[in-house]
Structure 1
Amino acid sequence: MQFRSVFDIIGPVMIGPSSSHTAGAARIGLVARQLFETEPEWAAFHLYGSFAKTYEGHGTDVALVGGILGFDTFDDRMTTSFHHADKRGLRYTFIEEKAQPEHPNTVRIRLGKGEDVLELVGISIGGGKVEIKELNGFALRLSGNHPAILVMHDDRYGAIANVATRLAKNEINIGHMEVSRKEQGKEALMVIEVDENIDSETMHDLTMLEHVRRVTKIHD
């Protein structure tokens, strides 16, 4: 019996042969898709370190595209993600970068549709776990393994407190929270990991708060 790829042997429950290079890569792609909030027209994957050297043999390329399409690691379609991408008209490219990253399993993902573009940097730290290190130029630390919301807001007094108060009112517990800004008094990004998925009513309430520009979420 012939196998076309390692996915045919390992199966879709846990992408192999390396959880770092495949399951982790799929998770990074999925987080990027969730934050972009729609299916992109194109995707560019800038691969660094070990990712750049072994992405074809370890199925990192297949996993990244599958994640961008919204497939989780247990999705049967993950094994044929290139086929599904072609059917949907998704244009994708892989760029092997020579720069040495801080972590060997690093990818910079750029997604676009029309005038909307998202840029995200993620690392795969082993066992299928990931960290998102940068989003649209904002430094952050997001595990991608827990429900979370990202709040783009004006860097103004009371903005953070208003969001935290609203979550408390809706009985949502904060597990981890951090704020990143490029310049004082300008745009800032709040990253909040929570204990449960945020419902649509709470999302709406957050978007209506003063100084809040946009709220997106990822879920486990």
Structure 2
Amino acid sequence: MLDIFDILGPVMVGPSSSHTAGAVRIGRMARTLLGAEPVRAEIGLHGSFAETGQGHGTDRALVAGLLGLKPDDLGIPDSFAIADNQGLAFHFHTVSLREAHPNTAVIEVSSADGKHLTLQAASTGGGRIRVDRLDGVEVNFTGIFNTLVIRHQDVAGELSRILNELSVSGINIANMRLCRDRRGGDGLTVVETDQRIPADALERLRAVYGVLTVTYYEKED
């Protein structure tokens, strides 16, 4: 059964939900997961994004998202000028990825205080996105839920401690995935939740033994 979003599509600045609205959301996701205001971005475009993205405004949409704009913001066409005024330097190039969605971007972004993030995400249609990789680790989440990205040590009982903090806060888990680079190394747990995560719960999660960083993406209203 289709919902009203499937029929009408997102409220956005056009011309394309995939190349514009989805691209804005990819940029916003990279900004949020970086956890700081970006000052530099290296943006790789794959497939259709590379071939027709400039004509569809994909490049301006991605930069708009990095600036924190939403898909319905009238400033999207002027994002390059806004980025220049706000001190965001960016560069586009073409990438060729194996088995990637044709509307895929790879964004390497950094902040003035030294934070760095590499995100690979696809615009899957109707303004929706899917994050496929974070800092080289394969993931799979969409941003349609409130989403926690928790980096932690791969030690016994770590996931149980994280889930206990969410339970104490009355947070219901919609989806969850645990990834790691190697046994005993660093883990990456992505938790999609039905409820918004209150600030005090985020602070308790950050204080859990073995947790390195906690990043929270709150879904759009």
Q: Same fold (TM over 0.5)?
A: yes
Partners of 1:208 and 1:99 in 2: CA distance: 38
Identity %: 38
Per-residue CA distance 1:91-119 (angstroms, 9 max, x = gap): 11110224554211111001012432110
Pairs aligned (count): 209
Match of 2:70 among 72, 77, 91: 72
Instruction: Give the aligned partner of residue 105 of structure 1.
Output: 103
Instruction: Give the aligned partner of residue 157 of structure 1.
Output: 156
**Residue pairs, 1:38-117, within 5 angstroms:** 38-99=36-97, 101-114=99-112, 115-117=114-116
* 8 Å CA contact 1:27, 1:72 repeated in 2: yes
* 8 Å CA contact 2:128, 2:142 repeated in 1: yes
**Residue pairs, 1:1-220, within 5 angstroms:** 13-99=11-97, 101-114=99-112, 115-220=114-219
Partners of 1:197 and 1:76 in 2: CA distance: 27
Partners of 1:88 and 1:139 in 2: CA distance: 32
Secondary structure, in 3 states, of the residue corresponding to 2:165?
Answer: helix
- AA aligned to 2:93 is I
- AA aligned to 1:180 is C
Deviation at residue 144 of structure 1 after TM alignment = 1.7
Secondary structure, in 3 states, of the residue corresponding to 2:56?
Answer: coil
Deviation at residue 179 of structure 1 after TM alignment = 0.5
Secondary structure, in 3 states, of the residue corresponding to 1:132?
Answer: strand
Partners of 2:184 and 2:177 in 1: CA distance: 17
Deviation at residue 199 of structure 1 after TM alignment = 1.5
Per-residue CA distance 1:31-68 (angstroms, 9 max, x = gap): 10001111111111100000000111001011100000
Partners of 1:218 and 1:167 in 2: CA distance: 15
Give me the TM-score of the superposition, normalised by structure 1: 0.91
Partners of 1:100 and 1:205 in 2: CA distance: 39
Partners of 2:22 and 2:108 in 1: CA distance: 17
Q: C-alpha root-mean-square deviation of aligned residues, in Å?
A: 1.4
Secondary structure, in 3 states, of the residue corresponding to 2:131?
Answer: strand
Secondary structure, in 3 states, of the residue corresponding to 2:75?
Answer: helix
* 8 Å CA contact 2:175, 2:192 repeated in 1: yes
Q: Residues 98, 163 of structure 1: CA spacing in aligned structure 2 closer, same or farther, 3 A cutoff? A: closer
Partners of 1:102 and 1:32 in 2: CA distance: 18
Partners of 2:154 and 2:210 in 1: CA distance: 8
- AA aligned to 1:53 is E
In structure 1, runs of 5+ residues without a counterpart are: 1-11
Secondary structure, in 3 states, of the residue corresponding to 1:63?
Answer: helix
- AA aligned to 2:193 is V
Secondary structure, in 3 states, of the residue corresponding to 1:38?
Answer: coil
* 8 Å CA contact 1:62, 1:79 repeated in 2: yes
Runs (4+) off by over 6 Å: none
* 8 Å CA contact 2:36, 2:115 repeated in 1: no
Deviation at residue 200 of structure 1 after TM alignment = 1.1
In structure 2, runs of 5+ residues without a counterpart are: 1-9
Partners of 1:20 and 1:36 in 2: CA distance: 23
